[in-house]
Structure 1
Amino acid sequence: MIRSNSQYKKAKEKLKEFDSLIEKEISLLKDEGRHPVEIEMSANLMSAQRDKLSLEAAEYEELLNCKEIAISSMREFPKAIVKARIKAGYTQGDLAKKIEIAEQQIQRYEIQDYNKANLERVVQIVDALDMNVSIILKPQTEARVIHLKPTIISQEKLDQKKDEISKEGLLMSIGE
């Protein structure tokens, strides 16, 4: 996840360079006489890295223009706080100054997904970002329970069923 404007700018620069780097890598591997499959795998790996970076940059751009940040689970809340900071236009340093703590503490919170931050601190951060939070608690979908009734079947009926199934070609005998 891109967490700052400077990271975004670096990502955009890397994206501009990526295609030529991929071409250079392919050319180098061909010159070394590498197997075509190895060359293709290397190109695919680099393309995947480029695509991941491109998605992160697009997510950052979208975040700057969105009206709200929706999450479907409390597990997503830490990332939502980071997104809210970015949306509000604050750097980690700006946010730290606003709530009067060290910038390194905000960095630690974000790296650790706010696991070490107490609820009071999280509320203070959300308030400093001037964000409203709406939470709806609802039960998770209920698991379906299937009740199985044991059936007692005679050996004769069991043998009949086996014969019927094997005639249809669905049963293979093992060890007989």
Structure 2
Amino acid sequence: MIKNERQYRVTKTQAQKFEQALAQLAKYSEEMKKENPLLWQAQKSALESQLNDLREEIEEYNALTPNSVNRTVVFTVDSLEALPRALIKARIAAKLSQKDLAERLGLKEQQIQRYEATEYASANFARVIEVSQALGMRLQPKAEIQVEVGRSHPR
């Protein structure tokens, strides 16, 4: 997941390099296909897979940062595990840098960078709530709790 403009630029550069590598592979493909078709196909598939992953990340980031000024972005979070990514997406959609969010919370930018790098694993629940409030996030009042009865759970 791309979390800031710097990562966005780096990812776009990497995607261009993979596109160039694929173009190079295509240029010499006939020779390579004849010599070792399995190796050629493996290289091509690996490059295409990486490029597709990078393109998906770029598309996701672009979708979060459209040029329109007044808009509402809705994220569906089906589990607590998905909440950290929603916080990051909400910050990006709000057009806030990590520094902007840090200032709103009275923290240093590096702290927000650490939180996002670990997907808020080091943040306590109170901090997660503070971040969501600073981002203006609203949760819909729906909670579904399922508990499996009769199974032992690790402590």
TM range (shorter): 0.7 to 0.9
The CA distance in 2 between the partners of 1:128 and 1:58, in whole Å, is 26
Shift in Å, 1:63: 2.2
The CA distance in 2 between the partners of 1:142 and 1:122, in whole Å, is 27
Give 4+ residue runs of structure 1 displaced > 6 Å after superposition: none
Is 1:95 aligned to 2:101, yes or no?
A: yes
Is 1:82 aligned to 2:56, yes or no?
A: no
Counterparts of 1:19-58 in structure 2 under 5 Å? 19-25=19-25, 27=28, 30=31, 34-58=35-59
Alpha-carbon spacing, 1:115–1:19, altered in 2? closer, same or farther (3 Å): closer
Residue-pair matches, total: 142
**In angstroms, what is the RMSD of aligned CA positions?**
2.6
Q: Helix, strand or coil: the match of 2:65?
A: helix
Shift in Å, 1:28: 8.5
TM-score normalised over the length of structure 1: 0.70
User: Looking at both structures, which has the greater relative contact order when contacts are Cα pairs under 8 Å and sequence separation is at least 6?
Assistant: 2
Contact 2:29 2:40 survives alignment (8 Å) = no
Gaps spanning 5+ residues in structure 2: where? 67-71, 150-155
Alpha-carbon spacing, 1:124–1:29, altered in 2? closer, same or farther (3 Å): farther
TM-score normalised over the length of structure 2: 0.78
Contact 1:29 1:39 survives alignment (8 Å) = no
Among all aligned residue pairs of Structure 1 and Structure 2, give the percentage whose two residues are the same amino acid.
30
The CA distance in 2 between the partners of 1:135 and 1:57, in whole Å, is 32
* CA shift digits 1:29-64 (9 cap, x unpaired): 946x85111011011101100000011111112223
Alpha-carbon spacing, 1:134–1:24, altered in 2? closer, same or farther (3 Å): same
Contact 2:98 2:113 survives alignment (8 Å) = yes
